Amino acid sequence: MVGGEVIGAIVVQDVENERRFTEEDQRLLTTLAVQAAAAIRNARILETTRLQVRRERVLREITSKIRSSADMHTVLE
């Protein structure tokens, strides 16, 4: 979970031995899950930031061309 949102699950089982895993195993998997969730969240934030940077770059280029152009035909191109 990240910020109250479930983003995935880690499932571990031993079909031959129901009681195979201990509370210590559960604590380890919980710790790993928290770290994995943080990494996934950070990757999502990074991708969102990259997309925003691309949008802003295109917007800046368009704005610059509009400001530097004197006629409507050039602006529309």
Q: Tell me phi and psi for residue 2, to 5 degrees.
A: -135, 120
9-68 tens-digit pLDDT? 999 999 999 889 999 999 999 999 999 999 999 999 999 999 999 999 999 998 888 888
**Given this model, what pLDDT does residue 65 score?**
82
**Given this model, what pLDDT does residue 52 score?**
98
Q: Tell me phi and psi for residue 49, to 5 degrees.
A: -65, -45
33-42 tens-digit pLDDT? 999 999 999 9
Quote helix, strand, coil % in the chain, to nearest 5: 65, 5, 30
Q: How far apart are CA 61 and CA 54, in angstroms?
A: 11
